[in-house]
Structure 1
Amino acid sequence: MATATYPPPPPFYRLYKDYLQNPKSAPEPPPPIEGTYVCFGGSYTTDDLLPSLEEQGVRQLYPKGPNVDFKKELRSLNRELQLHILELADVLVERPSQYARRVEEISLIFKNLHHLLNSLRPHQARATLIHILELQIQRRKQALEDIKSLGMWLEFLGKEAMWLWSQNWLWFGCANSCRREEAQR
């Protein structure tokens, strides 16, 4: 029984066979999906919103509201995480059967940390974009300066070449007139 290394192409490839000769012969792409959709059994949404911890069924350990001091809260959660990890190590040594509660507390702290970090992603993206644009401006200014200095260098070389050409012209002119005088004698 023979098996193919690769599966056959999907049947709709025939719709695109005349695309190079006539690009309008291919069907239009489907419109973008809006709202919710299912992929690999999971329900997803096209909204670019970060769901709150309450929507995810997780208790929020930091204050609610738009005026959250991210730096302070991240440090606080990080210290709390360190404390809970030390407590987990202590519990594992002294009372190994009671570790589950500590692990759940650590999981809750991690979920809160991740949510805070994900809340910072739009700010990070904006700052990264600003940095990239500033670098582009700086590179373009540097390229402009390089072009200006190259133009000045070429102008200098042109003047130098003209001066040398005029000197050679005078020298060749004198040499030719001297030769003519010698030839006439």
Structure 2
Amino acid sequence: MKKGHFCVYGDVKTDDVLPSLEEQGVRQLYPKEPNVDFKKELGSLNRELQLHILELADVLVERDLHNMLGEWKTFPFVFKNLHHLLNSLRPHQARATLIHVLELQTQRRKQAVDDIKSGEKSCRNFSWSLSEP
């Protein structure tokens, strides 16, 4: 079996690891610290992307193709950094979704138990009312 592959119940799985931006040959535009503030960094990259789009629109209006090429070169870096940050959030999103689903299932099961208990109580009351003369 290849490195990074493993077998679960006869089905071959891969140990998918998100490669860093450096491994992909892309300059990282946000801090390299392990505890990144995703909300702040996504917001700043989004603002930077909006700024690039506005600058690109200005260049297109002026029809200055030489300036447009310079602006266009930085565009992919911002997109790739945004995409990488979003992909880094996938495990957190999956964990939060799983927690939410489990909480809903727990609530439904507790409600079902309460419904059964109230049904049992009403059946007992009904049977007692029938047994009394």
Shift in CA distance, 36/104, structure 1 to aligned 2, threshold 3 Å: farther
Contact 1:50 1:119 in 2 (8 A): yes
1:58-100 CA-to-partner distances (Å, cap 9, x unmatched) read: 1110010202111110100011011000000001111341323
From the CA coordinates, give the structure whose radius of gyration is larger. 1
Equivalent of residue 125 in structure 2, options 152, 156, 161: 156
Match of 1:146 in 2: 115
User: CA 1:144–1:125 in structure 2 vs 1: closer, same or farther (change >3 Å)?
Assistant: same
Instruction: Tell me the equivalent position of 1:131.
Output: 100
Q: Is the Cα contact below 8 Å between 1:60 and 1:112 reproduced in 2? A: yes
Distance 1:35 1:100 in 2: 42
Label 1:87 to 1:160 Cα distance change in 2 as closer, same or farther (>3 A). Answer: same
Gaps of 5+ in 2: 6-12
TM-score, normalised to structure 2's length? 0.85
Q: Does 1:53 align with 2:21?
A: yes
* Structure 1: runs of 5 or more not aligned: 1-32, 38-44, 167-185
Aligned residues: 125
Corresponding position: 1:109 with 2:78: yes
**TM-score where L is the length of structure 1:** 0.63
Cα distance change, pair 144–34 in 1 and its aligned pair in 2 (3 A): farther
Which structure ranks higher in relative contact order (CA pairs < 8 Å, sequence separation ≥ 6)? Answer: 2
Quick one: which amino acid aligns to residue 122 of structure 2?
W
**Contact 2:27 2:77 (8 Å CA) reproduced:** yes
Counterpart of 2:108, as a letter, is R
1:11-56 CA distance string (max 9 Å, x none):
xxxxxxxxxxxxxxxxxxxxxx53379xxxxxxx933210000100
SS at match of 1:34: coil
Distance in structure 1 (CA, Å) of the matches to 2:89 and 2:54: 28
The equivalent residue for 2:39 is: 71
Please identify runs of 4+ aligned residues in structure 1 that moved more than 4 A: none
User: Which region of structure 1 is more displaced relative to structure 2, 107-116 or 95-104?
Assistant: 95-104
Partner residue of 1:83?
51
User: RMSD in angstroms over aligned alpha carbons?
Assistant: 1.9
